[in-house]
Amino acid sequence: MIGGNVVTNRRKSGRRRGNALIEVTLLAPWVLFLFVGMVDLGFFCYSLIAVENAVRIGAEYTAQGAATASNQSGACTRILNELASLPNVSTLSSCGAAPLGVTATQVTGPDSATASSVSITYQSAQLIPIPGMLVGKLYITRTAVMKVKP
């Protein structure tokens, strides 16, 4: 009797090992899909934070005085320096075409004082497109308004 039980137990445990292989085979694509999605989301979040910092730096530059309140080229230079770590911005020399658009204008603030408004529109690099789920590109628009120093 003892010998019969050992043979039966070996047959059952052999079947269980095969089940584990099938489960891993079925779940591996989903785990890979989730990993790729997390990497894409990380790049998109990094781009969002970088654009928010860049628009603030551009607004700080244009708020230095009335002469710089609508200086789009000066704001562009500082914004390009801030966004240099993004993959599709490092080779740009201007801010007038995709993937980066910058506008700087002089506006009237809520307290009727002179202010400057800087707006950035950024199109992220296409990373890993997943049809039906991730579009591959993200469009980010941020605007900052700061009171111009007298």
Residue 99 maps to a domain: yes
- Asked if residue 1 has pLDDT above 80, the reply is no
* CA distances to 94, 102, 107 from 74, in Å: 11, 11, 17
Residue 14 maps to a domain: no
Residue 26 maps to a domain: no
Residue 122 maps to a domain: yes
Domain carrying residue 129: 38-147
Beta bridge partners of 122: 100, 140
d(CA 14, CA 23): 15
Beta bridge partners of 116: 106, 146
With CA atoms as reference, report the closest residue to 119 among 70, 67, 66. 70
Q: How far is CA 85 from the centre of its chain?
A: 12
Residue 3 maps to a domain: no
Residue 15 maps to a domain: no
- Give the pLDDT band (50/70/90) at residue 146: very high
Beta carbons within 8 Å of 54's beta carbon, 6+ residues apart: 78, 79, 82, 83, 120
Residue 23 maps to a domain: no
41-83 pLDDT, tens digit per residue, is 888 899 999 999 999 999 999 999 989 998 999 999 999 999 9
Instruction: Please write down the HEC assignment for all residues of 66-111.
Output: CCCCCCHHHHHHHHHHHCCCCCCCCCCCCCCCCCEEEEEEEEECCC
Residue 29 maps to a domain: no
- Give the pLDDT band (50/70/90) at residue 116: very high
Q: What is the count of structural domains for the chain?
A: 1
